[in-house]
Amino acid sequence: MEVIPKIIPNWHPILVHFTVALYAIATLLFILGYLANKNEWARKFTGNEWPQKFTNAAYLNLWLGALITLLTVAAGFYAYNTVAHDEPSHLAMTNHKNWALTTASFFWIVAIWSVFKYRAGKQVGLLFVTAMLIGSGLVGITGFKGGEVVYRFGLGVMSLPKTDSHRHPGAEGGSDHGADGHGDSHSEQH
């Protein structure tokens, strides 16, 4: 029995989803905590304790995100140095790596900042929420760059399907999935 299945060439694609989810949830919870704390109507609707509950849950998600990001970055370096690639895909991987390191560093700084805020018992302000939103934007760009590495260049996948050979039964004449989604007419032109 294998410890790591052959279908998983590295752990980066698995770990990165935890990083993305934890940072996204942390951002959402910080926004909710900030708005609930600043809005009298929201405090009446949610109760006075909810702003702090949102913020505490946000801190936990941010800190877990910062920890798992250590593993995500380590697995990303492993993938960067072990996945077979050519020159164009190497440039795309390097671009993704640079965005990822910038994003990770940004969130580690914000996480450290949050520890000081938490220990001092200070409320989360607009500047902190804005930093979380900027970080979420960085995550989005980094994720797009990572998706491009996989879906445009095919890196990290064990095989690519032959798209001109798959047909769905039931449709008139079958449905062919060409690379551009135009079906039979496209595959016959080439």
pLDDT in tens, 8-30: 668 888 899 999 999 999 999 99
Domain count, the chain: 1
Residue with the bigger pLDDT between 128 and 90: it is 128
DSSP 163: G
160 within domain boundaries: no
Q: What are phi and psi of 182, to 5 degrees?
A: -90, -5
32 within domain boundaries: yes
**Is residue 83's pLDDT more than 90?**
no
44 within domain boundaries: yes
170 within domain boundaries: no
Q: Check: CB of residue 95 under 8 Å from CB of residue 147.
A: no
Give me the domain span that covers residue 148.
12-155
Per-residue confidence (pLDDT) for residue 9, from 0 to 100: 63
Q: Check: CB of residue 111 under 8 Å from CB of residue 63.
A: yes
User: Quick one: pLDDT band at residue 174, thresholds 50, 70, 90?
Assistant: low
164 within domain boundaries: no
Q: Give the whole-angstrom CA distance, residue 18 versus residue 92.
A: 22
Name the burial class of residue 108, with classes exposed (0-12), middle (13-18) and buried (19+) by CB atoms within 10 angstroms of its CB: middle
Q: What's the mean pLDDT when you consider all of the chain? A: 83
What DSSP string runs through 51-109?
HHHHHHHHHHHHHHHHHHHHHHHHHHHHHHHHS---HHHHHHHHHHHHHHHHHHHHHHH
Average pLDDT over residues 66-82: 93
Q: Give the whole-angstrom CA distance, residue 75 versus residue 134.
A: 24
User: What would the pLDDT profile of 88-117 be if each residue is shown by its tens digit?
Assistant: 888 989 999 999 999 999 999 999 999 999
176 within domain boundaries: no
DSSP 49: T
Query: Does residue 168 sit in helix, strand or coil?
Result: strand
Q: Give the whole-angstrom CA distance, residue 64 versus residue 155.
A: 28
142 within domain boundaries: yes
Average pLDDT over residues 114-138: 95
180 within domain boundaries: no
